[in-house]
Amino acid sequence: MSDPHAGFELVHRNDSDALLTLTGDWVRGCDPGDFSAVSSQLHLGTSTHLTANGAALGDWDSTLVAFLLQCANHCREEGIAFDTRDLPAGATKLLALATAVAPHQREPEPTPDWHETLNPLALLKKSGAFLRESLEFTGEVTVALSRLVAGKSNTRLVDFRQFCYEGGPSALGIITLTSVLVGMILAYLGAVQLQQFGAEVYVANLVTIGILREMGVLMTAVVMAGRTGAAYAAQLGTMQTNEEIDAITTMGISPVEFLVIPRLLALVAVMPLLTLYANLLGIVGGGIVAGGMGITPLQYITQAETAIAVNHLMVGLIKSVVYALLIAVAGCRAGMNSGRSSAAVGQAATEAVVTAIVYLIVADAAINIICQQIRF
Amino acid sequence: MTQAASEPHISVSDLTMAYGSFVIQRDLTFEVRRGDIFVIMGGSGCGKSTLLKHMLGLMTPARGDIAYNGQSFVKASDAEREATRRRWGITYQTGGLFSAMTLAENVALPLQLYSGADTGEIEDIVAYKLALVGLAGYQAYYPSEISGGMRKRAALARAIALDPEILFFDEPSAGLDPISSRLLDDLVMEIQDSTGATVVMVSHELASIFNIANNSVYLDAASRTMIDSGDPGYLRDHSKQAVVRQFLTRGSSAGDSGEQTQGQGNER
């Protein structure tokens, strides 16, 4: 070819006939110019017929066919006949293939405006649906639990043991770290304030009560929500994707009994134990900081002993059971209602953690208010 | 038709399936006789798998009924449904094996739940079922450790664990090479032949359809309803619907109906 540079030229031969001459090498990166030049020129004339001439074409690849497809689509929309006889045979065939099926017209989905998303009514409706779904799931779990009590359930002990191990002993490492640190943080915060009154020794009371009633169980729950709750959601979501849940349902087994109940019971069984462990380590963590402030270990232990009371311990343990239920329900619900794609499984895991933590905070506030009202 | 007199094992009447307001297929009415190998045919996206899901009770019909042995499955209580389902064996498109269990545990699960057999007995049955599908010795493998074709066969072993009355298959040979696919077909046929189970499968593999099926329904994507039903071998040559003949002959000419089929192909 004399001129390897790719280009095109549109000439109106007469009122109804236009000629599109393509020249040069139409290969990737050749920059032949924008298609809009053709469409705007076609608009100027009254052409009803467009002929493409490829006699001066050199090499060509998908660049050419992509351009021709734009021409063909434009011509179809404007009702102009597009004649491709003079083009290379391969390009004509590819163009015929690409235009064989008319482009799919997607029905326009109503895209909500930004102010729509802030609409309190829509928001209320959405959270209402979420609440309903959660309640439905909780109902199913309750029914399954009652069947378990009645001895009619398909829950397997093997699964329960497996989940107990996964949720309990293997979480000890991370619980050790978080609870020691939380104990130290509490002691540090308290000690700095109490020093002003020369009452450093009461740091032991503050740490002990704070850990037993509140922080020990809350930190354990947060760790379990992120660790076990998310794992439950991901496991069940993947099972949904793999048609495993379908297989269980059609085997005549309730997926809630078979999959959710062992997970839920395992979490309920290990959470109080983990909480006790976290309580102990939290108090030890507080002791480390107290030692740094000049309180002897004996003083710290004696003072802590005066603060330990059954009611503080019980509040923590009751909370641990409630939180375990909430984390398991949030995780399993997200997993069971997950979509059937890898993205949906990820979403389910995220949803599990977020809802679990919201549930935890709300439940914590509620339990504290109740305890205060009944002076427990 | 000699079998016409035998009572229908499954009857679908006036079934309409929809996702929300989007109708997938409407007015489906057909019967599956006891011992049939029944194929649900149709192009991609016409609702074959959706129909299977409705038959399995995984989705609720917008209208119409599905009955097993003359008993409505749509209106049945949960307990009745579970009882019906225990007489089924199902293999899913992806196998649907429990990924957290070994093959032996997968096959053993329905036995543990429903057979009342003791552990030793179950072990023997599991070994026999796995041997039946050519997976003897694979008891301790997890589904992720074996090939796709083996997974399908393992799923079949689980499906036949309880000697079901009806076997459902969702695209049994999808993603398999021609030889494995043929082997799986043969396996299905032999099991059907020796147990007399009714087989319902979703398939668009022509080889499978002609190899094993003796009854079928064709779902059309364009008109969103069934346009023909019967023995696929008969439909290939005698269907009144050009699309069905075209589907069953891969769009190429077949005997005297060739020209028409070709004509249809060009129109579309």
Q: Do B90 and A252 touch (CB under 8 A)?
A: no
Mean pLDDT of chain A: 90
Contacts for B183 with CB less than 8 Å, ≥ 6 apart: B134
Work out the minimum CA distance from B234 to partner chain A, whole angstroms. 32
Chain A residue with the nearest C-alpha to that of B143: A242
| CA nearest to B85, candidates B93, B97, B77 | B77
Residue B63 has φ and ψ, to the nearest 5°, of -160, 160
B56 touches chain A (CB under 8 A): yes
Interface of B with A in 105-124 (CB under 8 A): 109-110, 113-114
pTM of the model: 0.78
Of A238, A244, A250, the CB nearest to B85: A250
CB contact under 8 A, B113 and A154: yes
**B93 CB within 8 Å of a chain A CB:** yes
Kindly report the nearest CA distance between residue A164 and chain B, in angstroms: 16
Q: What is the pLDDT of residues A310-334, one digit of tens each?
A: 999 999 999 999 999 999 999 999 9
Chains A–B, number of C-beta pairs less than 8 Å apart:
53
For A71-104, how does the pLDDT look when each residue is reduced to its tens digit (9 = 90+)?
A: 888 888 888 888 888 888 888 889 888 888 877 7
Question: Which residues are CB-neighbours of A55 under 8 A, at least 6 positions away?
Answer: A21, A86
Minimal C-alpha gap between B78 and chain A (Å)? 9
CB contact under 8 A, A244 and B96: yes
Q: What is the pLDDT of residues B73-117, one digit of tens each?
A: 999 988 888 888 888 999 988 888 998 899 999 999 989 888 888
Across the interface, whether the CB atoms of B92 and A247 are under 8 A apart is answered yes
Q: What is the ipTM of this complex?
A: 0.77
Backbone dihedral region of B163: left (phi > 0), alpha (psi from -120 to 50 degrees) or beta? left
Mean pLDDT, each 10-residue run in order, chain B (268 residues): 62 91 90 92 87 92 92 89 88 87 92 85 92 90 90 91 91 81 84 89 83 89 89 89 87 45 35
